Amino acid sequence: MRVVQAIAEIMKREGVEFLIAYPLNPLIEACADADIRTIIVRQERTGIHMADAFSRMRSGKHVGVFCMQGGPGTENAFGAVAQAYSESVPLIVIPGGPARGGAWVKPSFNAALNYQHVTKWAETVNAPGGIVATMRRAFTQARNGRPGPVLVEVPGDVWQEEIGDFEYRPTARFRYEPDAVAVEDAVDVLLKAERPIIYAGQGVHYAEAWEELKAFAELMEIPVTTSLEGKSAFPETHPLSLGSGGVAMPGSVYQHVREADVVFGVGASFTATGFGIRFPTAGKTFIHLTIDPTDVNKNIPTDHALIGDAKLTLAALTEAASERLGGKTRGRREEVVSRIKTQKDEWLQKWMPKLTSAAVPITPYRVLWDLLHTVDVPSSIITHDAGSPRDELSPFWTATTPLSYIGWGKSTQLGYGLGLAMGAKLAHPEKLCMNFWGDAAIGMTGMDFETAVRERIPILSVLSNNFAMAMEMPVMKISDAKYNSTDISGNYADFAKALGGYGERVTDPNEIVPAIKRAVAQTESGRPALLEFITSKEIEYSTPAVLDRPY
């Protein structure tokens, strides 16, 4: 067997369902030969975003694999791998590389060298027989501990080398949990807390700890918020749900974060980011459950660390807490729930005029509100994009089922959402998969809508076209006044049609719901749809600055 055939064979044994790719890379032919579906994109970025969403949808148990050409392909793919790295998403990227003799000769692009800082693991296969151990390491590294992207560079003169027969056993994910004393301590602190909150991150998704999170929150009567990545880890219609936190957040998140005496992070890194909750630390005790010890004391002072898998640890905490409570509850549920409800209701009421506005151009909030009330939310998956669409969508979208929202924000590359929706659709053909983006975002990756058409990946793309980079207007006043620097333009409904998909431009608020229904029907018939809503240049978001201001 040759190296390239061995990689395809190993992928099969690891349960890889698709190879997402951009030529030229010999693995494309080898995978097709081995009956692994090959999906060809229009640029590397979107292909990697698709593999990324696929891994997320499988909670990292199966990981997406992408391959591309050495040199230009590897150079062009950098952004998408960096995005996956910032989000700790497992995936495997297999570029070609220069022949071994030229790997260190400038200007050859040495991928393993250049990708060191945006991968969890990156190596070059220097000896053909080494491919087996390299692939074993790659799959193991991608999904064990803190997940992340892995790069395996195959030099041009290695692909076709003979390696004979080989042995390969599929790898697994290994779980670990904290020591029992730390569990008892955490329960102690939480039982004594006056105003505890739980902050759930994407570790809950990777550990599939959704039921354990719910059981623990209910037993302890603790309100739950999430990071953007953790959104949908806890049903947002649950009476204990505060909603998710990002740049923008519901009033209930803001108020609870400010007033909490104990913050219990579950499967969360507490990474300081402009696109997440910035936790005040004074006077607060932090309990930090994370798979990765490097998160401890990173951006918040960790008072109690629980290093381990979220599912195992939450189960241990629930057991310890049940014993302490002796079958009783803390008796606070009614008070906790009513406080959340009051805060949520007050907040939503203030936003209702925008959410239900009949203004023309349409407000993006009205588009989202109507979308939320038209599609079947539990069987849908949605993702935002960078900029206003993220901050408009995340506070108001009530995710009810696990992994029904793909959140991101450790890096925020415009155009990420399209590939995510496509990857989600590959993982869940039965679900309605949507991305909500702006006209700047579509400018980055829009051509891959053609991939959705050609590869029969019928997503629903919801575009807020305000002919501007509205979010940048407040900080680009001079260049705007002199040179119209935030103006952009395009007719994206026509663009979608030109690429063979369904496209519709909507300008009348009364047409939002009928247009959504038409577009959903198109996706159900196998055709991707793009709804282009002509929207206002909205720049008000539910951010702390706005929440602090009396309405």
Judged by the rule CB under 6 A, the positions of this chain that interact with ligand TPP are 386-388, 412-414, 438-441, 464, 466, 468-472
Check residue 236 for interaction with Mg ion (CB under 5 A): no
Residue 4, token pair as written in the block: 């390239």
Check residue 438 for interaction with Mg ion (CB under 5 A): yes
Check residue 389 for interaction with Mg ion (CB under 5 A): no
Check residue 70 for interaction with Mg ion (CB under 5 A): no
Q: Is 120 helix (H, G, I), strand (E, B) or coil?
A: coil
In this structure, the chain runs to a length of: 551
Beta carbon nearer to Mg ion, 415 or 438: 438
Residue nearest to ligand TPP (CB): 438
Residue 546, token pair as written in the block: 């706005």
Beta bridge partners of 423: none
Question: Which one of ligand TPP, Mg ion, none is in contact with 387 (Cβ closer than 5 to 8 A by kind)?
Answer: ligand TPP
Question: Which one of Mg ion, ligand TPP, none is in contact with 386 (Cβ closer than 5 to 8 A by kind)?
Answer: ligand TPP
Question: Which one of Mg ion, ligand TPP, none is in contact with 17 (Cβ closer than 5 to 8 A by kind)?
Answer: none
Question: Which one of Mg ion, ligand TPP, none is in contact with 69 (Cβ closer than 5 to 8 A by kind)?
Answer: none
- Residue 421 CB, nearest approach to ligand TPP (Å): 15
Instruction: Please state, as a whole number, how many other Cβ atoms lie within 10 Å of the Cβ of residue 483.
Output: 10
Beta carbon nearer to ligand TPP, 405 or 408: 408
Beta carbon nearer to ligand TPP, 16 or 468: 468
Residue indicated by tokens 């220069």: 98
- Residue 80 CB, nearest approach to ligand TPP (Å): 11
List all residues 6 or more positions away from 515 whose beta carbon is below 8 Å from its beta carbon. Answer: 504, 506, 531
Q: Where are the beta strands (DSSP E) in 245-337?
A: 262-266, 285-290, 304-307
Question: Which one of ligand TPP, Mg ion, none is in contact with 441 (Cβ closer than 5 to 8 A by kind)?
Answer: ligand TPP
List Cα–Cα distances, 258 to 189, 238, 262, 282, 543, in angstroms. Answer: 18, 21, 11, 10, 14
Question: Which one of Mg ion, ligand TPP, none is in contact with 414 (Cβ closer than 5 to 8 A by kind)?
Answer: ligand TPP
Check residue 46 for interaction with Mg ion (CB under 5 A): no
- Residue 285 CB, nearest approach to ligand TPP (Å): 35
Residue among 211, 171, 235, 206 nearest 10 (CA): 171
Residues 448-477 that bind Mg ion (CB under 5 A): 466, 468
Q: Which one of 51-59, 319-327, 369-377, 438-446 is the stretch in contact with Mg ion (CB under 5 A)?
A: 438-446
List Cα–Cα distances, 293 to 200, 304, 305, 314, in angstroms. Answer: 17, 12, 8, 17
Instruction: Please state, as a whole number, how many other Cβ atoms lie within 10 Å of the Cβ of residue 281.
Output: 13
Beta carbon nearer to ligand TPP, 210 or 275: 275
Torsion angles phi and psi, residue 512, rounded to 5: -60, -55
